[in-house]
Amino acid sequence: MKILVAVKQVAALDDDFEIRSDGRGVDPEFLVRDLNEWDDFSLEEAVKIKEASAEPVEVVVVSVGPEEVDESLRKCLAKGADRALRVWEDAVQGSDPIAIARILAAVARREAPDLLFAGVQSSDQSFAATGIATAGLLGWPHAAVVARLNFTPGAKSAVFRRELEGGLLHEVEIQVPAVLTIQAGINTPRYASLRSIKQAAAKPIELLGLGDLQPGASEVGEAGSLSRVRRVYVPEKGRAQLIEGSAAEQAARLAAIIREFTGAPP
């Protein structure tokens, strides 16, 4: 039995930063990178299933990105993943969430897992699209925002609870193989021990290129993406003004401000 966990190395802004010269992103020197928060919960859920199972369960983590992503993959290995895969070549640069989903779907076809976990969203872009798009490309049943999961390895279905609006919980049975996007708070992610960190440093990370998978260069990167970053910028700061006086004076001043901005006659 196998669980494939899609993870992402996300970027957070340093206190001071500069926009790249092309205006489409932040200069990499000003970014702090780490494993996506939601993916940490996905990995923990997979490892918990493995540890509670009477039959062998393999947990495989996969990420799409350049060599620096290996740091996050080794963190996953230290926390209990059995294997790590990284997909990258220059043609993948600039892929949007749907192009990334094409790559993950190809990896899933190659690995044939019983379950594919992904975080609900990434903390840097928050599109919440990649996991569900992957399910659509695979033609697998799927569910988003999973807050509790009951699954016995070898079973043909899993039962989960997901969050709905208004504080409601939705309990559903789903057939496997399936794609589930995992919500933060479903468990308590573990810390990696020093021993497991040292062991993870010696484990190989398998590098896959497009030649190892189905998508061609025209289906990934900017060529295969339907959305593109036009520009990244810091918005102008707004202004605030405290209007004092009686209710009538405040109303008169507010009316004057509105006329000033709309160009209406006094």
Each of the 266 residues of the chain gets a pLDDT tens digit; together they read 999 999 999 988 877 888 888 888 888 888 888 999 999 999 999 999 999 999 999 999 999 999 999 999 999 999 999 999 999 999 999 899 999 999 999 999 999 999 999 999 998 888 999 999 999 999 999 999 999 999 999 999 999 998 888 888 899 999 999 999 999 999 999 999 999 999 999 999 999 999 999 888 889 998 899 898 888 888 888 778 889 999 999 999 999 988 888 877 76
Q: How confident is the model at residue 196, as a pLDDT?
A: 95
Q: In sequence order, which residues have a C-beta less than 8 Å from that of residue 234 and are 6 or more positions away?
A: 19
Q: How far is residue 130 from each of residues 24, 56, 191, measured CA to CA in Å?
A: 21, 28, 26
Q: How confident is the model at residue 124, as a pLDDT?
A: 87
State yes or no: cis peptide before 141, omega within 30 of 0. Answer: no
Q: How confident is the model at residue 56, as a pLDDT?
A: 95
Q: Which two tokens stand for residue 33?
A: 């990178």
Cα atoms in the Cβ-side hemisphere of radius 13 Å centred on 240: 1
Q: How confident is the model at residue 194, as a pLDDT?
A: 94
How big is the chain, counted in residues?
266
CA angle (95 as vertex; 34, 105 as ends), nearest 5: 85
Q: What is the DSSP string of 207-237?
A: EE-GGGSS--GGGSTGGG-S-------PPPP
Give the global pTM.
Answer: 0.85
Residue 84, SS3?
A: strand
Which is it for strands 142-150 and 157-163: parallel, antiparallel or unpaired? antiparallel
Which of these, 243, 10, 222, 6, lies nearest to 117 by C-alpha position? 6
